[in-house]
Amino acid sequence: MNKLHPDLSRVIISADQIQTRVEELADKINQDFAEVEQLYMVGILKGAFMFLADLTRHIEVPHTVDFMALSSYGKTTSSGAVRILMDLREPIESQHLILVEDIIDTGN
Protein backbone atom coordinates (compact mmCIF):
# COMPACT_ATOMS: atom_id res chain seq x y z
CA MET A 1 0.00 0.00 0.00
CA ASN A 2 1.40 3.40 -1.02
CA LYS A 3 1.69 5.75 1.97
CA LEU A 4 2.89 8.67 -0.15
CA HIS A 5 0.77 11.66 -1.04
CA PRO A 6 -1.24 10.85 -4.20
CA ASP A 7 0.80 13.38 -6.23
CA LEU A 8 4.12 11.74 -5.29
CA SER A 9 5.53 8.69 -7.00
CA ARG A 10 8.65 8.13 -4.88
CA VAL A 11 10.62 9.36 -1.89
CA ILE A 12 13.56 11.52 -2.95
CA ILE A 13 15.26 11.88 0.45
CA SER A 14 14.42 9.35 3.15
CA ALA A 15 13.69 10.19 6.79
CA ASP A 16 16.93 8.43 7.74
CA GLN A 17 18.92 10.56 5.30
CA ILE A 18 17.36 13.72 6.70
CA GLN A 19 18.12 12.63 10.27
CA THR A 20 21.72 11.86 9.35
CA ARG A 21 22.13 15.32 7.79
CA VAL A 22 20.56 17.02 10.83
CA GLU A 23 23.08 15.24 13.06
CA GLU A 24 25.94 16.28 10.75
CA LEU A 25 24.80 19.91 10.86
CA ALA A 26 24.53 19.78 14.66
CA ASP A 27 28.05 18.32 14.90
CA LYS A 28 29.38 21.18 12.75
CA ILE A 29 27.53 23.77 14.87
CA ASN A 30 28.87 22.15 18.04
CA GLN A 31 32.42 22.41 16.66
CA ASP A 32 32.10 25.93 15.27
CA PHE A 33 30.50 27.37 18.41
CA ALA A 34 32.27 25.27 21.06
CA GLU A 35 33.93 28.33 22.60
CA VAL A 36 30.93 30.68 22.67
CA GLU A 37 29.20 31.44 25.92
CA GLN A 38 25.70 31.34 24.42
CA LEU A 39 24.30 30.58 20.97
CA TYR A 40 21.02 32.17 19.90
CA MET A 41 18.94 30.10 17.47
CA VAL A 42 16.00 31.78 15.75
CA GLY A 43 13.40 29.83 13.81
CA ILE A 44 11.13 31.51 11.30
CA LEU A 45 7.60 30.23 11.85
CA LYS A 46 5.94 28.15 10.84
CA GLY A 47 7.99 26.20 8.35
CA ALA A 48 11.24 25.96 10.30
CA PHE A 49 9.69 24.74 13.56
CA MET A 50 10.07 20.96 13.12
CA PHE A 51 13.55 21.16 11.60
CA LEU A 52 14.75 23.49 14.37
CA ALA A 53 13.29 21.16 17.01
CA ASP A 54 15.15 18.21 15.50
CA LEU A 55 18.36 20.22 15.20
CA THR A 56 18.36 21.60 18.74
CA ARG A 57 18.05 18.10 20.19
CA HIS A 58 21.61 17.54 18.98
CA ILE A 59 23.10 20.93 19.89
CA GLU A 60 25.42 20.54 22.87
CA VAL A 61 26.63 24.14 23.25
CA PRO A 62 24.58 26.39 25.53
CA HIS A 63 21.83 27.88 23.42
CA THR A 64 18.55 29.75 23.49
CA VAL A 65 15.76 29.17 20.99
CA ASP A 66 13.31 31.85 19.92
CA PHE A 67 10.95 32.38 17.00
CA MET A 68 9.81 35.07 14.62
CA ALA A 69 6.76 35.07 12.38
CA LEU A 70 7.14 37.01 9.14
CA SER A 71 4.98 37.60 6.11
CA SER A 72 5.71 38.96 2.66
CA TYR A 73 2.53 37.72 1.03
CA GLY A 74 -0.76 39.26 0.10
CA LYS A 75 -3.39 36.73 -0.86
CA THR A 76 -1.24 34.49 -3.07
CA THR A 77 1.86 36.39 -4.17
CA SER A 78 4.82 38.01 -2.48
CA SER A 79 4.54 41.75 -1.95
CA GLY A 80 8.30 42.11 -1.52
CA ALA A 81 7.77 43.93 1.79
CA VAL A 82 8.35 41.84 4.90
CA ARG A 83 6.00 42.34 7.85
CA ILE A 84 6.96 41.16 11.33
CA LEU A 85 3.96 39.33 12.77
CA MET A 86 5.79 38.11 15.88
CA ASP A 87 9.14 39.50 17.01
CA LEU A 88 11.87 38.09 19.23
CA ARG A 89 11.48 38.33 23.00
CA GLU A 90 15.02 39.60 23.60
CA PRO A 91 17.45 41.84 21.70
CA ILE A 92 20.00 39.95 19.59
CA GLU A 93 22.71 42.57 19.24
CA SER A 94 26.18 41.08 19.76
CA GLN A 95 24.77 37.53 19.92
CA HIS A 96 26.11 34.50 18.08
CA LEU A 97 23.07 33.80 15.93
CA ILE A 98 21.84 30.97 13.72
CA LEU A 99 18.74 31.77 11.70
CA VAL A 100 16.69 28.76 10.59
CA GLU A 101 14.26 29.32 7.71
CA ASP A 102 12.34 26.76 5.69
CA ILE A 103 12.47 28.43 2.27
CA ILE A 104 13.86 31.57 0.72
CA ASP A 105 11.26 32.49 -1.85
CA THR A 106 12.09 35.93 -3.26
CA GLY A 107 15.82 36.45 -2.85
CA ASN A 108 15.19 39.84 -1.23
In this structure, is the dihedral angle defined by the CA atoms of residues 8, 9, 12 and 14, taken in order, positive or negative? positive
15-100 has CATH 3.40.50.2020 classification: yes
Give the integer Cα–Cα distance in Å for 33 and 52.
Answer: 17
pTM of the model: 0.77
Active site residues: 105
- Helix (H, G, I), strand (E, B), or coil: what is residue 17? helix
The reported pLDDT for the residue numbered 67 is 93
The reported pLDDT for the residue numbered 12 is 87
Which residues does 56 contact at the CB level (< 8 Å), separation at least 6? 41, 63, 65
Give the integer Cα–Cα distance in Å for 14 and 1.
Answer: 17
- 40 and 66 Cβ atoms separated by less than 8 Å: yes
Report the candidate in 105, 108, 70 with the shortest Cα–Cα distance to residue 87: 70
What pLDDT digit, counting tens, does each position of 33-87 carry?
A: 999 999 999 998 888 889 999 999 999 999 999 999 888 766 566 666 788 888 8
